[in-house]
């Protein structure tokens, strides 16, 4: 078909085929279904939409979702940086295993994560019973949601940071040290600024993932504080489609913004790396 | 110039030690914190899965897996995975070929759109398909006329799984194929190979590890998907329950051993995935290294 083109050696064959296939499949599976959500929601008037999206229960769910996701992402940013640093910079027994385990939350089904975390942190569980002695309740409280979201988000920060840490030129640190900077100053003034874009990328990825997370959270969430995906689920169960759609659109729009943020951050980070 | 080099050679070792290494106590404190964190958040949850599954002995655990409804759920999970992974693999290869080998307008937007399913909450994914194919959805009445059921039936579960695992293969292949460039394909075409021959004999062998890596990630996610599938499933025991949904149901019925036995099965699968992933990362790194020193002829084939 495109023999004339392939003979020109400049352009490989298959442009039309791969473009057509990619666009068709993308449209059928992703774009048209998502467009349907916006189309259905547009049947609501602006006032109706606002009323649902800003109802007391919806706002309460945003508060739980974004609050817990934010706290979990902050903890992941700090602990992820520490983990990445330890894995890349230090040599100690078990380092390879630790490195491999980081991806465990990616590989484990979220329902399994939720089930085991809820059990672990329940007052009868291996960890919960000790925490209970000091009066800390984790499972079936908002801290439980945060614990689940920390688990889900660990790999994001570590995996965004690792390549950057591995690429850091040790000579820059040597230079800082030989010019009299203390190790602490070297870290805060030289290393940290280089890592910052990757930390922010990892933070945003973990945050974005945490906002939409459902599977692990429902096992450990308290009955009273519901996250936004749970609210959508309840609305659907009541066949209150407008209620589910309007809140879903709010979530989608926020996710899109986060996706764009992550893309911009990655571009910024790659400029730093060169 | 020569002076600085000399200086680095002579005193470099001692200097670099002081300049780039942390004091031993900082090292051990940080390793300790990392170990503690990993212990609480990664090792203990994993150990707990097996601990709870075998809490009442091996027989109770394995016996609960033989439950007919659990077996039906296993079959459904296998079906959804076996349909969605190949479809998304073909798509991933096509999309990576398009994005890595050609320059065209809107490429950046297309790349972002492919990542889109990653940022959609699973519950929203499920909702979207309900709005399309549910009884009150766009195609609902029409489907109903022909007695085709998608929502609260197997097709809906398969569709939701496809959506959720959509970007995995493409995401792995795009950077790999971009790094490899298209010199080898052009050489093959110059020598008279057809497009498909070039693809099968030149491109595919050079991306096979990356491809396998993407397929494994895609499979892991397909097996474990919960939220999206949960919305479209309808939770009919023995019919539309996948393994993760079965876990939720058993947990709600306070059947801890059965729930944790399925969880243990899926955890073993996750560990296998991790093992394969680590091994493939190793192979893929070699592939990339080969691509970067592409002037060397590949020793395979």
pLDDT tens digits, residue range A169-179? 888 888 888 88
Confidence of residue B28 (pLDDT cuts 50, 70, 90): very high
Q: Min CA distance, B293 vs chain A (Å)?
A: 19
Task: Give the model confidence (pLDDT) of A54-71 as tens digits.
Answer: 999 999 999 999 999 999
Confidence of residue A162 (pLDDT cuts 50, 70, 90): very high
Confidence of residue B19 (pLDDT cuts 50, 70, 90): low
Residue of B12, B38, B45 to mutate, interface with A, max A Cβ within 10 Å: B45
Do B94 and A17 make contact, defined as CB atoms within 8 angstroms?
A: yes
- Given a cut of 70, whether residue B5 has pLDDT beyond it is no
Do A259 and B116 make contact, defined as CB atoms within 8 angstroms?
A: yes
Do B274 and A22 make contact, defined as CB atoms within 8 angstroms?
A: no
- Given a cut of 50, whether residue A8 has pLDDT beyond it is no
Do B19 and A101 make contact, defined as CB atoms within 8 angstroms?
A: no
Do A236 and B244 make contact, defined as CB atoms within 8 angstroms?
A: no
B274 touches chain A (CB under 8 A): yes
B97 touches chain A (CB under 8 A): yes
Residue A157 has what pLDDT?
94
DSSP H helical ranges for chain B: 2-20, 24-38, 44-53, 57-65, 68-101, 107-119, 122-133, 140-145, 154-165, 168-180, 183-190, 195-198, 204-224, 227-233, 243-252, 256-292
pLDDT higher for B265 or B20? B265
Do A251 and B124 make contact, defined as CB atoms within 8 angstroms?
A: yes
Percent with pLDDT over 70 in chain B: 90
Residue A262 has what pLDDT?
83
Q: What is the pTM of this model?
A: 0.88
B256 touches chain A (CB under 8 A): yes
Query: What is the Cα–Cα distance from A253 to B260, expressed in whole angstroms?
Result: 36
- Burial of B104 from C-beta contacts in 10 A (0-12 / 13-18 / 19+): exposed
Q: Min CA distance, B244 vs chain A (Å)?
A: 6
Taking residues A182-209, report their average pLDDT: 89
Q: With contacts defined as CB-CB under 8 Å, which chain A residues touch B185?
A: 12
> How close are the terminal C-alpha atoms of chain A, in Å?
42
Do A82 and B223 make contact, defined as CB atoms within 8 angstroms?
A: no
> What's the ipTM?
0.89
Average pLDDT along chain B: 88
What residue has token string 């090292």?
B27
């Amino acid at each position: 078909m495109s023999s004339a083109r392939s003979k020109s050696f400049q352009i490989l064959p298959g442009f039309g085929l791969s473009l057509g296939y990619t666009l068709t499949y993308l449209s059928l599976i992703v774009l048209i279904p998502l467009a349907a959500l916006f189309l259905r929601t547009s049947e609501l008037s602006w006032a109706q939409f606002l009323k649902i999206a800003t109802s007391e229960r919806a706002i309460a769910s945003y508060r739980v979702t974004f609050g817990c996701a934010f706290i979990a992402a902050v903890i992941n940013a700090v602990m992820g940086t520490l983990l990445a640093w330890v894995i890349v910079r230090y040599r100690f027994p078990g380092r390879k295993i630790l490195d491999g385990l980081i991806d465990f939350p990616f590989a484990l089904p979220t329902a399994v994560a939720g089930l085991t975390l809820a059990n672990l942190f329940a007052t009868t569980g291996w960890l919960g019973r000790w925490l209970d002695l000091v009066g800390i309740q984790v499972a079936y409280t908002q801290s439980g949601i945060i614990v689940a979201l920390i688990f889900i988000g660990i790999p994001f920060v570590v995996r965004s940071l690792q390549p950057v840490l591995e690429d850091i030129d040790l000579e820059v640190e040597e230079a800082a040290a030989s010019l009299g900077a203390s190790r602490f100053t070297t870290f805060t003034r030289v290393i940290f600024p280089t890592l910052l874009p990757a930390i922010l990328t990892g933070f945003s990825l973990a945050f974005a993932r945490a906002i939409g997370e459902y599977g692990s959270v429902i096992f450990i969430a308290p009955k009273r504080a519901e996250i936004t995906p749970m609210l959508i689920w309840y609305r659907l169960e009541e066949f209150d489609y407008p209620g589910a759609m309007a809140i879903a659109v709010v979530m989608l729009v926020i996710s899109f913004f986060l996706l764009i943020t992550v893309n911009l951050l990655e571009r910024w980070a790659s400029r730093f790396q060169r | 110039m020569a002076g600085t080099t000399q200086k680095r050679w002579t005193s470099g070792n001692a200097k670099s030690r002081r300049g780039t290494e942390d004091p031993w106590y900082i090292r051990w404190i940080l390793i300790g914190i990392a170990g503690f964190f990993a212990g609480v958040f990664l090792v203990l949850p994993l150990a707990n899965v097996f601990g709870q599954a075998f809490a009442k002995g091996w027989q109770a655990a394995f016996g609960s897996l033989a439950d007919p409804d659990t077996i039906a759920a296993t079959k459904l999970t296998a079906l959804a995975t076996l349909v969605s992974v190949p479809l998304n693999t073909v798509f991933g290869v096509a999309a990576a070929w398009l994005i890595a080998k050609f320059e065209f307008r809107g490429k950046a937007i297309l790349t972002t759109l492919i990542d889109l399913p990653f940022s959609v909450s699973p519950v929203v994914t499920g909702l979207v398909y309900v709005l399309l194919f549910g009884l009150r959805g766009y195609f609902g009445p029409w489907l109903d006329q022909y007695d085709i059921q998608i929502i609260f039936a197997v097709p809906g579960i398969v569709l939701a799984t496809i959506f959720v695992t959509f970007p995995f293969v493409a995401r792995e292949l795009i950077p790999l194929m971009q790094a490899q460039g298209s010199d080898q394909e052009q050489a093959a075409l110059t020598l008279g190979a057809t497009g498909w021959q070039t693809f099968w004999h030149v491109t595919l062998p050079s991306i096979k590890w990356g491809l396998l890596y993407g397929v494994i990630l895609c499979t892991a996610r397909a097996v474990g998907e919960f939220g999206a599938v949960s919305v479209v499933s309808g939770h009919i025991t023995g019919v539309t329950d996948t393994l993760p949904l079965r876990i939720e149901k058993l947990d709600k019925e306070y059947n801890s051993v059965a729930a944790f036995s399925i969880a243990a099965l899926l955890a073993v699968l996750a560990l296998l995935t991790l093992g394969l992933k680590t091994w493939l990362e190793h192979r893929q790194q070699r592939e990339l290294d080969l691509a970067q020193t592409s002037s060397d002829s590949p020793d395979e084939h």
